[in-house]
Amino acid sequence: MKIFLDTADVAEIREYAASGLVDGVTTNPSLAAKTGRDYVESLKEICEVVPGAVSAEVLATDYDGMMKEAAVFTKIAKNIAVKVPLTWDGLKACAALSKQGTMVNVTLCFSPVQAMMAAKAGASFISPFIGRVDDIGEDGMGLIHDIRAIYDNYDFKTEILAASVRHVMHVRESALAGADVATIPTSVFKALLNHPLTDKGLAAFMADAKKGGVVIKG
């Protein structure tokens, strides 16, 4: 499963991309607003740091507006994926952009049928919001399972991008459910390697080495 960072903070992206474990980035206006920087300029820097898909979300809600903003985004870099909402105008824009060879991330997906429609429109990525589905008492991970089944039934090539990820278990469950991508905040990314037995085992190894006078000579 690919791992994308869900942030518009260029400094954070540089730091974690250096690990070699970051496959892409998703951004949105809310994340961009937190940085206080020009959105387009930030996207340029992010695309230079991350070779994989970088999702840039439109602000317009009408088809013509989305297409105009998409034209701005696609000039930034080849790895830009234009992010559009799962609305009639959004899917119309998705179909037009995908025919032009532009990657499109269809966001704000909350049902399997919505995901099917996005795939039919040519979406490169579909973003089901598992955390927000859980928030209203429904099954966010069940949504991933259902979309996976539909896509496999009809051989849709759209990648399932698990979004609204809240914790490490969401990442684990998304991988088991067959999501192609999980986009996660940096706080969750940092926690992916955490396990008390890893820390305990490393401490024991180091203590034994020190006690035994073990050294590595060059």
Q: What's the total number of domains in the chain?
A: 1
CATH number at residue 67: 3.20.20.70
pLDDT of the chain, 218 residues: tens digit per residue: 999 999 999 999 999 999 999 999 999 988 999 999 999 999 999 999 999 999 999 999 999 999 999 999 999 999 999 999 999 999 999 999 999 999 999 999 999 999 999 999 999 999 999 999 999 999 999 999 999 999 999 999 999 999 999 999 999 999 999 999 999 999 999 999 999 999 999 999 999 888 999 999 88
What helix, strand, coil percent values describe the chain, rounded to 5? 50, 20, 30
pLDDT of residue 155: 98
pLDDT of residue 14: 96
Name residue 159's beta-bridge partners.
125
Q: Does residue 218 form part of some domain? A: no
Q: Are 98 and 124 within 8 A, CB to CB?
A: yes
Would you list the DSSP string of 89-148? HHHHHHHHHHHTT-EEEEEEE-SHHHHHHHHHTT-SEEEEBHHHHHHTTS-HHHHHHHHH
Q: Does residue 189 form part of some domain? A: yes
Q: Does residue 99 form part of some domain? A: yes
User: What is the pTM assigned to this prediction?
Assistant: 0.95
Phi (first) and psi of residue 84, to 5 degrees: -125, 155
Per-residue pLDDT of 167-177, as tens digits, reads 999 999 999 99
Q: Does residue 203 form part of some domain? A: yes
Q: Which residues are the active-site residues?
A: 83
pLDDT of residue 209: 85
Q: Does residue 217 form part of some domain? A: no
Q: Residue 162's domain spans which residues?
A: 2-212
Q: Does residue 35 form part of some domain? A: yes
Q: Does residue 175 form part of some domain? A: yes
